[in-house]
Each structure stands twice: as structure tokens, then as C-alpha cells.
Structure 1
């Protein structure tokens, strides 16, 4: 078993921040510093270089970090093997996952509920940001597993498909365009409300428009809003057209609060993918969670 000081060190090393580590671990920053100092005294060397508000690993800290990652993986494998042999054995597991807004709100909650029911000793933290910022958090080692939508591939990241979804054009029931079928060029004369830059939904729309020779900057954009719910609530009371995930507007469409406006020549299908840094795909318990979620939606 990894000692508590080693677990604290791992979190500081992963985030390169004493403050963020204390927030994730739900302890004070001074408590985090105390545990790291105890390790530095034990190993008779510094593990972090303090550079103002930031820190970086020393060579000794980097060595310890890499070896502890291996030790944690072995610990997970041991726990998994023991759990298979003994139903009474159920160790505490902590996971930090990041997901884009749409996924956090509409896709992953039932998976989390089912997973936690099966593995009740799991403590899970879900970070909710747009796809671009989830990818950044992954590359910054703030999270070890992300779920994103409709974003360009990055070379040092592994993408594992979860499911596909459709983005649809919607407007309020009092919008004059509610009775029309549009084509892409019609969007050049329709007031539009869009998600913020970095949104996976926005990226899907941008790619589809590009295939028709249309840029986002060509559209008469009236407002940009951060988050699916904000955009949905705005378009429900306004005369703008908005592009939203079908999963996000199912209830509003059924209730007649929003109306789907077909855009005949736009292909707005996007993919939800798990993202992991290359080389970490087999790390437990995240590997188990990915397999569980894919089975859930299969």
C-alpha cells in the first residue's frame, strides 16, 4: 500500500500545484506541505523547486513520481486480483474524470450511478468544462481521463469511442423559421446564437459549415453563451436559431418549447470519445471505467 505522504506527493506532482492538490484531496494546503516536507526529510533531498506560485519536480522528485506511478498501477492490479478472489475485499479507490458540458449533463450521469452502485468504495470527482479545456486539463495532468466531443485530434492523446450524437438546429415555438426547412446558405440571413469558443458542439458546426464553404464569421451571430443550458434557455425566449445536442433538447422538443429546424445539407453528427495521454491507457481503475461505460452504452 502506498503511504499517505506518497499519495499526497503524487497529487502535487500530477497537478504541479500545492493549492490544487489540497482542493482535490480535501485538506489544507499546509497539510499538503507538511506531508511533502516529511518525504523530503525522509529521502534527504528536495522533491520540488518552488518558483513563485508554481512548482516543478527536481530530478529526485521526477524519479519518485515515475516509480510511484508504477507502484500505484501494481497496487490497482493487486486489488483487482484480490477482489476477484474475495468478494469481501473492496478497497477505496479515488478517480478524477473530466467531461465536456453536454456529456456531464446528459450522457455520463447514468453511467456514474451504475458504476458507483457496482463499485461502492469508489470516490469519484467529475470536472465539467468545455471540450477544449478538458483536453488541456488532461495534457496538464490535472485529470487522467477525459470525455470530449467534436474536437480535432491531438497526436499525444489516445481516443477511444464512447458513442455518437446529433447536433440539431432549434428555435422557439414563436420563431418564424419554425415552419421552414433550411439549407446551409440560409444561415447567412438567420440570427444565430452560438456556444463559446472551445465547445465541442461549436466545433462540429464549424466543420460542417466549412464543407459548404461557409465560415462561422460569415454568420449573423447575435450572441455567444457559455454552456448548453445557458444557450438552450436563451433561444427558448428569443428569436435566434441555435445548434444544440439532440440529447440536450429532447424534453423541450417533446413539450413544444423548442422546435427542430431541419438544415437539409448539413451533416451534424459528432462523436463522444474518451481521451487519455498515450501510455496511460492500461492504468487502473480508469481502464475498468472506460470498459464499463462502453458496455453500458453498447
Structure 2
């Protein structure tokens, strides 16, 4: 069992900032500093190098953090193993899941709720970042399981295909464009459109799909560039423009009639999501239990 002072060390090593670590741990900064000073006394070495622009781990600090990370993982596995000896539903443990925005907003709440009903003693935490940062967090042991867009194929990460989400053209049901449910590519070039901001995964797959049809994004009559899926959805509900949005994000509005889906023959846009783990961690039982629940327990 890792004592609290070592957990404080792990958090400071993660944040590389005493104030941020204190905030995460609900402690005062002097309390965090005291824990680190005590550990430095125990081991007889400096664990952090103090600089004018921040702190960094010393060589000794890196060694200790590496061992503590492994020990913390073993402790979690031990807790899970013992708690499930008699009944799997009694499972205890903690799991940190990292997910890209679409999954975090529209799928994870339902998955977490269902998982907690089945395993009420497992503590769940969600980290919502873009796919690249989820992979970084996974490799830094900040998350146990990640769900990312696209198979980046890092050699240190294992990938399992999870689901395919279609990106669809939609407009408000009271928009003039909703009168027809089909647009040709030629008509699309004359249709006012709102798009996501540069760097958006949704925008990237739209740009690629259009490029395959010989259309560059600037050829479209873009009315607005909107940051965020929800903001873009709310904009077209008020503005009446067309927008490309993930099917997952507009299911509810399509069902209740607020939005209308517009078919564009020949333009098929989709994104694939993958469940990712660190290589070598695929057999850890709690993450496997959660992954199985994602794959089999939810009807998408």
C-alpha cells in the first residue's frame, strides 16, 4: 500500500507545479511542500530541482516516481483481485478513462452510468482531451484506458477498433434548405455553411472527404467558423446554415425534429474510434472489464 506522502509525490511529478498539485489533492501548498520535504529527508536526496520558471524531477526523483507508478498499478490490481474473489459485482478499484470530445460528451456519460450500476464500488474518472493529448496522458500513466479518434499506430500503444461515427450534413428543420433532403455536390458549392475551427477532428475529415471530390473548403460559402460541436449546433439552429456534425452529436435533435439531415450523394464522411491501452497493460483485469462493457454492454 502506497502511503499518502508518496501519492502527493506522484501528483507533484504529474503537474510539475506545487500549487496545481495542491489544488488537485485539496491540500494547501505548504502541506504539499512539507510532504515532499519529508520524503526527501527519508531518501536523503533531492527529488525536485527548483528553478526560477518551475520545477523538474531530479534523476533520483525519476527513479522513485517510476517505481511508485508501478507499485500504484500493482496495488490497484491487488484490490480488484481480492474484491472479486467471491463475486465480480463486488469489484473495487479506481479507473481513469481518457476520451476525445465527441465520445466524452455523447457516449461516456451513458457508459459510466451503466458501468456503475453493474459495479457500484468502482470509482470512475473521465479526462476529456483531444486524441493526441489522450495518447500522451496514457503513456504518462495519467489514464488507464483511452478512447481516441483514428489509429495513430504508436508502437507503445495497443489499439482496438470500437465504433464508426458518421459525420452528417444537417440544418435546422425550419431552414429553407430543409425543404429538400438531398443536395448535389454542385448545389453544396452554393449553400451557406458553418464549419468547425481549424484543428477540429470533425473539420479534418470533412476537408479530406471534400478533397477526394475535388472540392477545397474555401470554395464553399462559409458563413461562420465556430469552435466546439455544441456551439456549432446551436448556431445553425438559430442561423439556418448547413453544417457537418458527428451523427452522435445530433441524434437527439434529429429524432425530436429540431434538425434535418441532408443527403449529399457520393460524399461519405466518417470517423473511427479506437480503445487504446499501453502495450503490456492489456491483461489488467479492471481495464479489461471496462473495455468489455464498452464493446458489449452499450447499444449504440
Structure 2 length as normaliser, TM-score?
0.85
Alpha-carbon RMSD: 2.9
1:127 paired residue number: 127
Unaligned runs of 5+ in 2: none
Equivalent in the alignment of 2:212: 211
Q: Alpha carbons of 1:63 and 1:122: their partners in 2 closer, same or farther (altered >3 Å)? A: same
Give the match's secondary structure for 1:293.
helix
- Deviation track 1:233-261 (CA, whole Å, cap 9, x = no partner) reads 11011131111122221222222221111
Q: Which range moves more in the overlay, 151-160 or 96-105? A: 151-160
Rounded to whole Å, the distance in 2 between the matches of 1:191 and 1:117 is 45
CA distance in 2, matches of 1:162, 1:168: 19
- Which consecutive residues of structure 1, in runs of 5 or more, have no partner in the other structure? none
- Number of residue pairs aligned between Structure 1 and Structure 2: 298
1:267 counterpart residue number: 268
| Partner residue, 2:259 | 258
Q: Structure 1 residue 153: deviation in Å?
A: 5.0
- Take 1:20 and 1:72, find their aligned partners in 2: how far apart are those partners? 21
Distance verdict in 2 for CA 1:6–1:20, change over 3 Å = same
SS of residue matched to 2:35: helix
* 1:159 aligned counterpart, secondary structure: strand
Distance 1:259 1:159, change over 3 A: same
Q: Which residue number corresponds to residue 4 of structure 2?
A: 4
Aligned counterparts of 2:218 and 2:143: Cα–Cα separation in 1: 33
For residue 232 of structure 2, what is the aligned residue in structure 1?
Answer: 231
Looking at structure 2, the residues matched to 202 and 222 of structure 1 have their Cα atoms a distance apart, in angstroms, of: 15
* Aligned mates of 2:145, 2:282 — CA distance in 1: 9
Distance, in Å, in 1 between the alignment partners of 2:243 and 2:139 is 31
Is the contact between residue 181 and residue 262 of structure 2 (CA under 8 Å) also seen in structure 1? Answer: yes
SS at match of 1:31: helix
The question of whether the paired residues in 2 share the 8 Å contact of 1:170 and 1:241 is answered with yes
Report the alpha carbon displacement of residue 232 of structure 1 after superposing the two structures with TM. Answer: 0.9
| Aligned mates of 1:151, 1:223 — CA distance in 2 | 30
2:72 counterpart residue number: 72
Higher deviation after alignment, 260-269 or 221-230: 221-230
Whether the aligned pair in 2 keeps the contact of 1:184 and 1:209 (CA below 8 Å) is no
